[in-house]
Chain A
Amino acid sequence: MKQFSELLASCNKTAFDLRFTKAKNWKLEQEDRVLLGFLPIYFPREIVHAVNGLAIGIMGAGDHKQIIKGDAYYQSYICHLPRGIIEMALDDSLEHFDGFVFPAICDCVRNLSGMFKLAQKGKFQRYFDYPQNFDSLIGGVFYRQELEKIIDDVYKVNGVMLTAENLNHSIRLYNKNRRLIEEIYDIRQQYPWRLSAVDTYLIVRAGLAMPVEEHNRILEEVVDIVCEERGEPMDNIRVVITGSFCEQPPLGLIKSIEMAGCYIVDDDFMQGSRWIQGDIDDTTTDPLAALTNAYLTQSTFASAVYDVGNPKGKRLVDLVKLRNADGVIFSAASFCDPALLDRPELQKHCDAAGIPHINFQYHENTGQFKVIKEQAGTFSDSIKLWA
């Protein structure tokens, strides 16, 4: 298993490399390559890939960086994610990036886009507004215009025109990426002991910091490995984690939950990579329309998207059933309005469906997990007891 442990170590290194060395090296190989950084959650990376760019996920500094300057930019009652990102912007971690995209997820990220504008970080700073209207002639038109703005931003940097052929090719690659990730989750659903949640996390997160072609090769290897029996099944309960889509929980937290006797059979840690459900059509003459349609009709449930008419409570319960999970862990970043305002309703749905649940709040740099481990352990014991 030496090879696999090497692969994991390399994913770990890439996932938490806050200087984004791999991406920068990729950019340096060709003059007209463009490096774009995007914040959580979802961003259709295909449009950048198709014009000789690489869209890299900036998921925060986690517990990998001491925050000194960043804290001076935020009051104590604002979540942790933007502090780490400002810290990175103020040192030279983000200096190779040509531009930044801030998907419409909350007011913190929205205002962070303005802070990048004020600091003139990168050649462009783009707030990417998700439409909350899902009619193709209204929200669809708007979404497409949002995509076109970013395509134009990249064009202004490298002069590369978007073609349908290139975009279809990019969609194909990302379809494959999404399919492989889902395959891993599906295998883990049946055999969660074959790949820990921490390892799954590292493998998926590394994909935000490297070219999709390379990530697909890694995922294929992982699929091959987890198709074979490995590890030992344990008497663990099966849980779904929800609420951690933006500021990421520290690895120690995920580990603690696992060590407390929980198989994490689904989660929303890397929700952006798994946002689109199913393949996007990669055969049309208008692939921008295909991407638009995918956002309108194939988006997963998320706190950033208006859910009246398609309630996320029901969708969470469906996911729990699909994954044959015993319970839900609500795990959200402190001061995260989107996640925390969704929680009571999601809990109500779980209660109505008889699904047990507990909840935690964390900071990306939380260092103490004893209480969380104890809570998760008690949760696991109580489920086993009543099962």
Chain B
Amino acid sequence: METKEAIKEKSMVIQKDMLAKLFHELSVTKETGKKVVYTFVPGNLTELILSFDMLPVYPEINALQSGMRKKSGSYIKEAEKIGFSEDVCTYVKCDIGMMLNGNIGPTGEKLPPPDLLLLSYTGCFTFMKWFENLERLYPGVPVAMLHTPYQEDGHITPDQVEYMVKQMKEDVIPKMEMVSGKKFDMERLSKMMLNSAKAEDLLVKILETAKHRPSPIDAYFAGVYYIGPIFTAFRGTEEAVEYYTELYDEVMERMKLGLGPVTPEGELKEEKFRLVVEGPPNWTNFREFWKIFYDAGAVIVASSYTKVGGVYDLGFRHDANEPLESLAKYCMGCYTNMNLPQRVNLLADYVKEYQADGFLINSIKSCNSFSAGQLMIMREIEQRMEVPVGFIESDLVDPRYFSYANIKNRLESYFQMLDQRKIIMAQEAEKII
């Protein structure tokens, strides 16, 4: 397919600059002496890392960027050559393949090796295996483990918070102090939390504009493309607040003008279907995948994937009055750390609150954390919400598992089904009148 230059809003340009600056800073750490922490997106401790003036690196983001830059296929094969099975999570293999190939980041600059491996493993066991492997690729680098208890009972208990805070105090923070050579500064962390909460308020407001008809945003594709990413690496900073203020103004303006979401080929002219999507997107063919939706006028009004880094719409905010406790609650509150009944409830609420016409799952071969149980989630939503449900399969970064024709066929039949349902519902409404 042709690769036209994507249409960009001001906020997208700002985001690009912010990320470029971060990757540049990462590429010159040898000169600046800044320390580098490798960690994960769900349950990230960004404010804590930044409060020590260290720089975060998120291996999943590197993997997804490798997918978008069409590099992941060869990286995955490299990892398979050294014994990783075809069956396991491709994010891990892509990341390991990238490291074996010189660890070149998304901007083409080399990423520095970690000074600390911060394993805050939230909502996914594979994270733990991933870091066991990284620890061996970087022998001698200290590892701080932050075990996040699962919300198995559907809520966060004070004991669980205490357990996490103790781990932070006894293991994570001392290791950060050792690596950074700086003393932990609770006041600084606390101040950052004020910024986090401001950005979180704005993020929620932005995501909730999708309740409006037509929705001014796509809460899945745009959600992962330019609405969400800044959150992870910059939460707690002034820049993040500024970015979200700008984005919020932009989105409000679109809403006032009755405009639809921005797509890579310009603005969506007609919103035909409103969907809730569960599961991560595919990165290797991101533009093609997105295009199937916007060509059909399908807008994603809410998605679960944009909640892996925090479910702020349920009310959680980082709290300057209890910084460590709120970091603990944040980790435990992330989407994949919620139990299945909670996930079903959240998705059902999205269908209702965002007035969705349908519910769609993109099931990812790599990701048991998302995929195991999704078929049951689908049945539950279908029964409870009585909306048409759709199911497609792909992978995050393994191009071997993205079958364009197959996915397009399935989605087109699904959209037809939604169309027919709309016609029938309109006829029935007419009869009543």
**A interface residues (Cβ-Cβ under 8 A, vs B):** 72-75, 77-78, 82, 104-108, 110-115, 117-118, 126-127, 129, 131-133, 135, 137-139, 141-142, 145, 303-304, 306-308, 334-338, 340-345, 347-348, 361
The minimal Cβ–Cβ distance linking B145 to chain A, given in whole angstroms, is: 6
On chain B, the residues within 8 Å of A345 by CB distance are 132-133, 136
Bound form: Cα–Cα A127–B339 in Å: 10
On chain B, the residues within 8 Å of A133 by CB distance are 145, 147, 163, 167, 171
Q: Is the CB of B341 within 8 A of A341?
A: no
Known interface pairs A75-B363, A135-B170; A112-B372 also in contact (CB < 8 Å): yes
Q: Which 6 A-B pairs have the closest CB atoms?
A: A114-B340, A127-B152, A344-B83, A341-B129, A111-B373, A107-B368
Q: Is the CB of A108 within 8 A of B368?
A: yes
Bound form: Cα–Cα A73–B379 in Å: 9
On chain B, the residues within 8 Å of A342 by CB distance are 129, 132
Q: Is the CB of A111 within 8 A of B372?
A: yes
Considering only residues 304-356 of chain B, those with a C-beta below 8 Å from chain A are: 339-341, 343-344
Known interface pairs A107-B124, A114-B341; A341-B170 also in contact (CB < 8 Å): no
Q: Is the CB of B375 within 8 A of A129?
A: no
On chain B, the residues within 8 Å of A338 by CB distance are 125, 129
On chain A, the residues within 8 Å of B380 by CB distance are 118
Bound form: Cα–Cα A138–B344 in Å: 32
Bound form: Cα–Cα A74–B88 in Å: 16
Bound form: Cα–Cα A129–B125 in Å: 12
| A-B CB contact pairs (8 Å), 15 listed | A74-B372, A78-B371, A107-B124, A108-B372, A114-B340, A115-B373, A129-B152, A131-B147, A131-B163, A141-B166, A304-B125, A336-B87, A342-B129, A343-B83, A344-B83
Considering only residues 82-114 of chain B, those with a C-beta below 8 Å from chain A are: 82-85, 87-89, 92
On chain A, the residues within 8 Å of B167 by CB distance are 133, 138
Known interface pairs A117-B339, A118-B380; A341-B371 also in contact (CB < 8 Å): no
The majority secondary structure among interface residues of chain B is: helix
Mark B374-401 against chain A: 1 for CB-CB distance below 8 A, else 0. Answer: 1110001000000000000100000000
Known interface pairs A75-B374, A337-B129; A308-B365 also in contact (CB < 8 Å): no
Q: Is the CB of A132 within 8 A of B143?
A: no
The minimal Cβ–Cβ distance linking B418 to chain A, given in whole angstroms, is: 23
Bound form: Cα–Cα A121–B159 in Å: 27
Bound form: Cα–Cα A104–B85 in Å: 22
Instruction: Judge if B126 is at the interface, Cβ distance under 8 Å.
Output: yes
Mark B131-145 against chain A: 1 for CB-CB distance below 8 A, else 0. Answer: 111011000000101
Bound form: Cα–Cα A105–B372 in Å: 14
The contact of A104 among B150, B159, B166, B365, by CB within 8 Å, is B150
The minimal Cβ–Cβ distance linking A310 to chain B, given in whole angstroms, is: 11
Bound form: Cα–Cα A306–B369 in Å: 18
B391 and chain A: residue at smallest CB distance: A75
On chain B, the residues within 8 Å of A308 by CB distance are 131-132, 135, 143, 145
Q: Is the CB of A107 within 8 A of B372?
A: yes
Known interface pairs A344-B83, A345-B133; A107-B126 also in contact (CB < 8 Å): yes
Known interface pairs A107-B368, A138-B170; A132-B375 also in contact (CB < 8 Å): no
On chain A, the residues within 8 Å of B83 by CB distance are 343-344, 347-348
Known interface pairs A107-B126, A114-B373; A341-B152 also in contact (CB < 8 Å): no
Number of A-B contacts (CB under 8 A): 153
Q: Is the CB of A110 within 8 A of B125?
A: yes
A108 and chain B: residue at smallest CB distance: B372
A104-B150, A361-B87 given; name 11 further pairs at CB < 8 Å. Answer: A75-B365, A105-B125, A107-B126, A110-B125, A111-B368, A112-B373, A133-B171, A306-B119, A337-B88, A341-B84, A341-B126
Q: Is the CB of B149 within 8 A of A337?
A: no
On chain A, the residues within 8 Å of B372 by CB distance are 74, 78, 82, 107-108, 110-112
On chain A, the residues within 8 Å of B170 by CB distance are 135, 137-138
A143 and chain B: residue at smallest CB distance: B163
Known interface pairs A73-B376, A75-B375; A344-B368 also in contact (CB < 8 Å): no
**B interface residues (Cβ-Cβ under 8 A, vs A):** 82-85, 87-89, 92, 119, 121, 124-126, 128-133, 135-136, 143, 145, 147, 149-150, 152, 159-160, 163, 166-167, 170-171, 339-341, 343-344, 363, 365, 368-369, 371-376, 380, 393
Bound form: Cα–Cα A218–B152 in Å: 37
Bound form: Cα–Cα A303–B126 in Å: 11
On chain A, the residues within 8 Å of B147 by CB distance are 131-133, 139, 142, 306
Bound form: Cα–Cα A336–B160 in Å: 28
Bound form: Cα–Cα A138–B335 in Å: 25
A307 and chain B: residue at smallest CB distance: B132
On chain B, the residues within 8 Å of A145 by CB distance are 159, 163
Bound form: Cα–Cα A310–B82 in Å: 23
Bound form: Cα–Cα A132–B120 in Å: 11
On chain B, the residues within 8 Å of A361 by CB distance are 85, 87
B117 and chain A: residue at smallest CB distance: A308
The minimal Cβ–Cβ distance linking A113 to chain B, given in whole angstroms, is: 6
B369 and chain A: residue at smallest CB distance: A107
Bound form: Cα–Cα A361–B393 in Å: 23
Known interface pairs A75-B371, A341-B129; A118-B341 also in contact (CB < 8 Å): yes
The minimal Cβ–Cβ distance linking B170 to chain A, given in whole angstroms, is: 6
The contact of A117 among B160, B171, B340, by CB within 8 Å, is B340
Bound form: Cα–Cα A345–B134 in Å: 11
Bound form: Cα–Cα A127–B125 in Å: 14
Q: Is the CB of B136 within 8 A of A337?
A: no
Bound form: Cα–Cα A136–B132 in Å: 22
Q: Is the CB of B132 within 8 A of A306?
A: yes
Q: Is the CB of B150 within 8 A of A110?
A: yes
Bound form: Cα–Cα A338–B89 in Å: 10
Q: Is the CB of A106 within 8 A of B368?
A: yes
Q: Is the CB of B87 within 8 A of A77?
A: yes
The minimal Cβ–Cβ distance linking A156 to chain B, given in whole angstroms, is: 14
Known interface pairs A73-B376, A108-B368, A138-B170; A117-B149 also in contact (CB < 8 Å): no
Bound form: Cα–Cα A142–B152 in Å: 14
On chain A, the residues within 8 Å of B131 by CB distance are 308
The minimal Cβ–Cβ distance linking A139 to chain B, given in whole angstroms, is: 7
The contact of B344 among A108, A118, A137, by CB within 8 Å, is A118
Q: Is the CB of B163 within 8 A of A344?
A: no
On chain A, the residues within 8 Å of B339 by CB distance are 113-114, 117, 127
Bound form: Cα–Cα A87–B225 in Å: 40
B154 and chain A: residue at smallest CB distance: A117
On chain A, the residues within 8 Å of B152 by CB distance are 113, 126-127, 129
Known interface pairs A127-B150, A344-B82, A361-B87; A337-B368 also in contact (CB < 8 Å): yes
B149 and chain A: residue at smallest CB distance: A129
The minimal Cβ–Cβ distance linking B155 to chain A, given in whole angstroms, is: 13
